[in-house]
Structure 1
Amino acid sequence: MKIGFISDIHEDIKRLKEAFTILEKEKCNKIVCLGDFTGYSVPYYGFLWSRNAHEVIELLKEKCELTVVGNHDLFSIKKLPKYKTGFIYPANWYSLDYQTRQKLAKGKVYLYEYNELPALLTKEDKKFIIKLPEYVVKKYGDKKIIFSHYAFPDLTGTTTFEPKTTKDVKKHFAFMKKNSCSLSISGHDHKEGMMIFTEKEVRAIPFNKKVKITNEPTWLHGPSVVNGSFANGVLCLDTDKMEIVAIPLKTKKHIAPEWRKL
């Protein structure tokens, strides 16, 4: 069986359709969305007039076996994450004004309004998002896999912390063990290719390089679909060979404007 993975679409319907075309050519039997299908950031993306959160959601419903929620998706419906770390959200978080939340956050969690446009969602879109899980455990053959937008305990990626070492993901490996899983797949960081974490090492894997998945506990996160400032792409996992590869979309990168730095 082949499983395709899409992540971090950020309302880019054009690139999402291209991603599905690639996964169809790869003969993927199942497709999983790893979150952040909403969230259009003005400086980081350049497809303002074609952004379409509603159409993206409709395609996910049609094409994906399952979808997990990401930090931008939670923000789009003003919902707090269930799993979180390093920051205690007040229950009235989204009733507070931006300046108050900024002072409370102290840079530990993302605030979005300063550069993100509201997702243009229907009532049905919001119902779809609110029901999405923060993680899913699925068994394929004799392999159990955890799907989430990011790493435990920050499964939706709402904090600004980015794991970079094996020590940084110890809690996630414990979470995997608790769920009897040796493989975990995420998105969130818009990496060009893949980042693979084991209990012994961290590796950056470029596009088009196949990687053999062993029984060693492994967490990996892949590329974004959105046309942004990073090379975009998809993941494809062959569960028979236990090989995974990041496949590029080859979209021309968006250059963020200089005023973003002001």
Structure 2
Amino acid sequence: MRLGIISDIHENTEMLESALKLAVFHKCDEIVCLGDIVGYDVRFYRYDMRRSAKSCVGLIKGNCRWVVPGNHDLFAAGRLPHYTNGFDYPSDWFEMQPNERKKIANGKVWCYGEDASNDLGKNEILYLRELPEYVATSEPGAECLFSHYIYPDLTGSTTRYVERNYQLKGLWEFMNEQKVRYSFSGHSHTIFTGFAYNGILKRAGSYLKAIHSIPSSMFSLGNETVMVLLPPLAGEKGNTGFSIFDTKNLTLNIISIN
């Protein structure tokens, strides 16, 4: 099976259409979306006249077998994440002014004060509200965990990033519970693909660097338990594109779209 994996679209209709066409060209059997379909931060992106959150949600809904929401999707849908890292969201969080949210958040969770308004309708919002925070597939040879970010912050709603090995302990345990070997996430807008192998935690100190980026477009994942951070489809810097995971030969191919 060839899985096309798309992450961090951020309302870029043109890039999403290109990725879907390339997925057909590369004979992908199924397509996965790792979230942040919507969310146009005016500080980072420069395609305001060509964006459409509504169109992007429609394209994802019509073409993807597995879809999970990102933190921007949750905010656009007025939905709170399950994991908050101890932050207590106030009941009027979505009605607050951006400066109020920023003050209360105190740097613990994202506030979305720079996200531009979007063209989502009721149907698109309902769709985003009903998406599962993660998907664990049981397809033979494709036992994967799909989430916007790394467990336990599956939606990437907190500002805490994984940097050290000890922070991955919960992920390996969760993957074992879900009976999956590969975990795919986005969210971090990495320039290169990032990897973390469970075996490294056992061999190295727990405070050593957790995720290692590799400047290549083709990888062999092998049979070890591994977490993969994928580049975004829409980004303000570096490589952008989508990924193809071949479950037969266990290779990951990054397809650049610039």
Instruction: Assess same fold via TM > 0.5.
Output: yes
Report the secondary structure of 1:188's partner residue.
coil
Question: Any idea what the Cα deviations from partners look like across 1:176-206, whole Å, max 9, x if unmatched?
Answer: 1121222111111111231111121632122
1:178-236 per-residue CA deviation (whole Å, 9 max, x = no partner) reads: 2122211111111123111112163212242222332x221111011114223201111
3-state DSSP class of the match of 2:102? helix
Q: CA deviation at 1:244?
A: 1.2
Q: Structure 1 CA distance, aligned partners of 2:222 and 2:152?
A: 23
Large movers: runs of 4+ above 6 Å: none
| Conservation of the 8 A alpha-carbon contact between 1:213 and 1:242 | yes
Is it true that 1:243 corresponds to 2:251 in the alignment?
Answer: yes
Code of the residue aligned with 1:213 in structure 2: it is G
Q: Take 2:155 and 2:128, find their aligned partners in 1: how far apart are those partners?
A: 13
| Whole-Å separation in 2 of the counterparts to 1:213 and 1:118 | 43
How far apart are the structure 2 equivalents of 1:239 and 1:154?
A: 26
Task: State the 1:133 CA deviation.
Answer: 0.7
Q: Tell me the alpha carbon deviations over residues 67-109 of structure 1, each in whole angstroms, 9 at most, x when there is no partner.
A: 1010000111221112332423233322444333222211111
Task: Determine the structure 1 residue equivalent to 2:159.
Answer: 160
Matched residue, 1:229? 237
- State the partner residue of 2:171: 172
Distance 1:88 1:97 in 2: 17
* Per-residue CA distance 1:146-183 (angstroms, 9 max, x = gap): 11001111100011111122222211112111212221
For 1:176 and 1:244, locate their aligned partners in 2 and report how far apart those are by CA, in whole Å. 19
Unpaired runs of 5+ residues, structure 2, are 201-209
Give structure 1 stretches of 5+ with no counterpart. Answer: 252-262
The percentage of aligned residue pairs carrying the same residue is 33
Query: What SS is found at the alignment partner of 2:174?
Result: helix
Secondary structure of the residue that 1:147 maps to in structure 2? Answer: strand
Kept in 2: contact 1:37–1:56 (CA 8 A):
yes
- Which is further off, 94-103 or 44-53? 94-103
Look up the SS of the partner of 1:116 in the other structure.
coil
Indicate yes or no: 2:252 matched with 1:213: no
In structure 1, the residue corresponding to 2:175 is in which secondary structure?
Answer: helix
Instruction: Tell me the residue number matched to 2:203.
Output: none
One-letter identity of the residue aligned with 1:229? K
Q: Quick one: distance in 1 between partners of 2:144 and 2:84? A: 21
* CA–CA distance in structure 2, aligned partners of residues 35 and 14 of structure 1: 17
Provide the secondary structure at the position in 2 that maps to 1:117. Answer: coil
User: In structure 1, what is the Cα distance between the partners aligned to 2:221 and 2:99?
Assistant: 47
Check conservation: 1:213, 1:244, Cα contact below 8 A: no
Cα pair 2:197 2:225 within 8 Å, conserved: yes
8 Å CA contact retained: 1:10, 1:36: yes
Whether 1:125 aligns to 2:147 is no
The Cα RMSD (Å) is: 1.6
The aligned amino acid for 2:218 is K
Amino acid corresponding to residue 247 of structure 1 in structure 2: I
**Structure 1: which amino acid aligns with 2:214?**
I
CA distance in 2, matches of 1:57, 1:119: 12
Question: Does the 8 Å CA contact 1:236/1:247 hold for their aligned counterparts?
Answer: yes
Q: 2:77 matched to 1:82?
A: no
Deviation at 1:143, TM superposition (A): 4.0
Alignment match, 1:260: none
Q: Is the contact between residue 138 and residue 144 of structure 2 (CA under 8 Å) also seen in structure 1?
A: yes
In the alignment, is the contact (CA less than 8 A) between 2:141 and 2:248 conserved in 1? Answer: no
TM-score after normalising by structure 2: 0.91
Partner of 1:60: 60
Paired with 1:62 and 1:71, the residues of 2 have a C-alpha distance of 21
Q: How far off its partner does 1:145 sit? A: 1.0
